Amino acid sequence: MTTSLKTKGGAILLAGLIVGSLAAAALIHGTAFAEVRAQATPQASAPGRYQVSSFAYGYGYAAAGTSGSQSKVGAYVVDTETGDLYLIVEGGKPHLVGRVGEK
C-alpha cells in the first residue's frame, strides 16, 4: 500500500470509530438511562387460601395371582378465593369438580 492509501484507510477507520462511538452514546443515553419505574407488586394470596381434605381407603383382598388389595388415595382442594373445588386422585393432575355452593 502506498502512504496515501494508508492515510485514507486510517482516516476512514478513525471516522468510523468516532461515528460509532457517538451513535452508541446516543443510544445508551436514550434507552439505557431512561426513567426506570418499578412494576406493581402482585398482591400475595391471603394465608389459608387453599383448604385440603385428604382421603385413603382400601377394600377387598388380593386374589390369587394379583398384586395386592384395591385401594385409593387422593385429596379434595378448595380455593377459598374462587370457590373452586378440585379432586386429585393418586398423584394425578387436579381436575375441577365444581364450585362451592353450586348444585
4 falls within a domain: yes
Give the residue with greater pLDDT, 40 vs 9.
9
75-86 core/surface letters (b: 16 or more CB in 10 A; e: else): eebbbeeeebbb
Based on the domain organization, do 54 and 92 belong to the same domain? yes
The rounded mean pLDDT for the chain is 76
Number of Cβ within 10 Å of residue 73's Cβ equals: 13
Q: Answer with the residue of higher pLDDT: 73 or 57.
A: 73
pLDDT of residue 84: 92
Q: Residue 90's pLDDT is what?
A: 87
Is 56 in the same domain as 23? no
On whether residue 88 sits in a domain, the answer given is yes
Task: Examine residue 77 and state whether it is found in any structural domain, yes or no.
Answer: yes
| Res. 1 pLDDT band, cuts 50 70 90 | low
Evaluate if residue 33 carries a pLDDT over 70: no
In a domain, 12, yes or no: yes
Give the range of the structural domain holding residue 2, as residue numbers without chain letter: 1-31
Domain count for the chain: 2
Contacts of 54 (CB under 8 A, 6+ apart): 73, 74, 75, 76
Residue 48 contacts residue 80 (beta carbons within 8 Å): yes
Same domain, 24 and 58: no
Residue 93 shares a structural domain with residue 57: yes
What is the model's pLDDT at position 3? 65
With cut-offs at 50, 70 and 90, classify the pLDDT of residue 64.
low
- The answer to whether residues 55 and 17 belong to one domain is no
